[in-house]
Amino acid sequence: MAEETEEPIIRVRGLVNRFGTQTVHNGLDLEVRRGEVLGVVGGSGTGKSVLLRTVVGLNQPEAGHIEVFGRDVVQMDDRARRELERRWGVLFQDGALFSSLTVAQNIEVPLREHYEMPLRLMDEIAACKVGLVGLPEDAGEKFPAQLSGGMRKRAGLARALALDPEIVFLDEPTAGLDPIAAGDFDRLIRDLKASLGLTVFMVTHDLDSLFAICDRVAVLVDQKIRVGTLDQHLRDDHPWIRAYFHGPRGRAAHPEENEGDRAAAAGPAPLPVPSPPPPQAGGRWPASA
């Protein structure tokens, strides 16, 4: 199990991403430490998913330097990229499962892409990953359409873990989940990080996830990024960061703050409502006075 260290496993320097006339990132610098859970947040259009896709080589930046495991992601050839892809797994927001394949077959896709191994061994690995993410044993035989939203997220995570990666990239992993399922998924990520020594790069809008499992948080603002602990961000006076962490939804996710504000906003407590008298014999309620 790898513990969190100061050693950066991902380095981004001077990143520039533009789409037409819109500049999303301009001179962005970021380091992700080995063994940490880094939450990435920002307003709509700030390029959270673009940053993730750029780091894993799915988006070509206009400028900048990106290293993962000390390897240059931007300049590497296809062979080197395939070698690097064996060391990370990606869970996209919609799960990106193939609807025509069973869960087990979906998990086996990266195994087929990167290795030559007997079908029986692939089946055993798929079954192991199904159990690892907390899915029932028979889930491997089902198709994605037969699963709930939370189970599909877990199936997508199982596929992301198929190659025993060192880094897992998660794009909005709790989006679309009810609070209970989202909390269960947070605990799963936390437990997997602890037991497998994972480094987790997580794009999210979910404040509860930030407070539950993230070691540090990277906030995309002004085409750049600010990285720190939650306590540091809570003291940040940047207008967007302050609104994000101290606004109405921020207070809901950080209940120990602003209790007085919430009580004042709620107004005086309502007067107690007396209980109705019990019914008379025969099940009828007495007439009003």
Rounded to whole angstroms, the Cα distance separating 245 from 254 reads 8
∠ Cα 16 17 22 (to 5°):
120
Rounded to whole angstroms, the Cα distance separating 78 from 80 reads 6
List the chain domain ranges: 1-87+165-253, 100-164
The string of pLDDT tens digits covering residues 167-200 is 999 999 999 899 999 999 999 999 999 999 999 9
pLDDT computed for residue 93 by the predictor: 80
Rounded to whole angstroms, the Cα distance separating 89 from 169 reads 6
The string of pLDDT tens digits covering residues 144-153 is 999 998 999 9
Q: How many C-beta atoms lie closer than 10 Å to residue 122's C-beta?
A: 19
Rounded to whole angstroms, the Cα distance separating 124 from 121 reads 5
- Architecture of 1-87+165-253 per CATH? 3-Layer(aba) Sandwich (3.40)
Three-class secondary structure of residue 175 per DSSP:
coil
As a whole number, mean pLDDT of residues 224-229 equals: 96
**What's the full length of the chain, in residues?**
289
Q: Which residue has the tokens 């050693």?
A: 7
Whether 264 has a pLDDT exceeding 50, the answer reads: no
As a whole number, mean pLDDT of residues 12-22 equals: 95
Q: What is the pTM assigned to this prediction? A: 0.84
